[in-house]
Amino acid sequence: MIRVAALTRTYGDFTAVDNVSFEIGQGEIVGLLGHNGAGKTTIMKMMTGYLEPTAGSVEIDGLDIFTQRELLQQRIGYLPENDPLYTEMSVIDYLEYAATLHGVPEADQVQLIREAIHKTGLTDRATDIIGTLSRGYRQRVGVAQAILHQPKLLILDEPTNGLDPTQVLQMRELIRSLAEHATVILSTHILQEVQAVCDRVIIIRNGRKVLDTTMAELQAGKRLLVAVDAAPDRALEPLRSLPQVNAVRPLQTAGPGHRYTLDLDSDEDPFETAPQVAACIASEGWKLYTLQPEQRSLEQIFTEISLQEGGMAQ
């Protein structure tokens, strides 16, 4: 559905976005993750046609955002960071105005506004002045204007920015429900948002894409965790002799028996290797307490990437 190719944006000698490329399929929920200032908002502005790129292209449904901007913007719902609302207007008046801007036919406006208000939980606030609403409800108004024309692509820039914990949970549930009918891209610097909502993550660092993978692949790792009753002087050599294992490291963590990490070859599947490790342990006559793939947290991976100098795109 979406194809971003070699997207670049410079401001004089400063490069805000540097040769970023990725593709996103229909129905995906993708998180753009990176520190503040990494270039996420700039990418989103170029994807929505609000900012011209220095180089590169953006295609949505085979249409070019820079030559067919008006047509494509009708298919995009966009919630900017610090959503610019007309705070002197009531919720329903603002949504009527937004519907007109989106080109929604007048005959369809009442029904579509009603649906947007219902989906975002604004029914009891529809006649309230926006300026009197809490931060959480203002964010809901911003989402309502982004979805009322039933876009195929929903782009949300820091959608939980400034919300309290309860409002954050409500916004996550809203995003999940919206993803049932649209592709969703959200940017954030908060790791928990990606883990809670997204099934794929693109990590941006210093304007460059340094990682692009699914959450399942990202967290799987290439290690097995093993606990047996054999001490290192007995266990290390047999475990190292397995052809799929690159290294064996004893762990000092508490638990039954002696615990080890087994580093596997890059092309090895931990689930395929586990039975062979179990067979080795059985042949040695050891007691097996634990054998499982390592589950890496997004925080670990993001920290590793942040510490790298000039990570390579994947």
Per-residue pLDDT of the chain (314 residues; tens, 9 = 90+): 899 999 999 999 999 999 999 999 988 999 999 988 899 999 999 999 999 999 999 999 889 998 999 888 889 999 998 888 999 999 999 999 999 998 899 999 999 999 999 989 899 999 999 999 998 899 999 999 999 999 999 999 988 887 888 888 988 998 998 888 899 999 998 888 898 899 999 999 999 999 898 887 776 667 899 999 999 999 999 999 999 999 999 988 777 899 999 998 877 788 889 999 999 999 999 999 999 987 777 877 787 777 764 444 34
Please give the Cα distance from 137 to 126 (Å, whole number): 11
DSSP for 228-285? ES--HHHHHHHHHTSTTEEEEEEE---SSSEEEEEEEPTT--HHHHHHHHHHHHHHHT
CATH architecture for residues 223-294: 2-Layer Sandwich (3.30)
Please give the Cα distance from 59 to 79 (Å, whole number): 20
CB distance 155 to 78 below 8 Å:
yes
> Domain spanning 2-218 has what CATH number?
3.40.50.300
The two domains 2-218 and 223-294 share their CATH topology (first three levels equal):
no
Domain extents in the chain: 2-218, 223-294
The pTM score is 0.77
CB distance 166 to 198 below 8 Å:
no
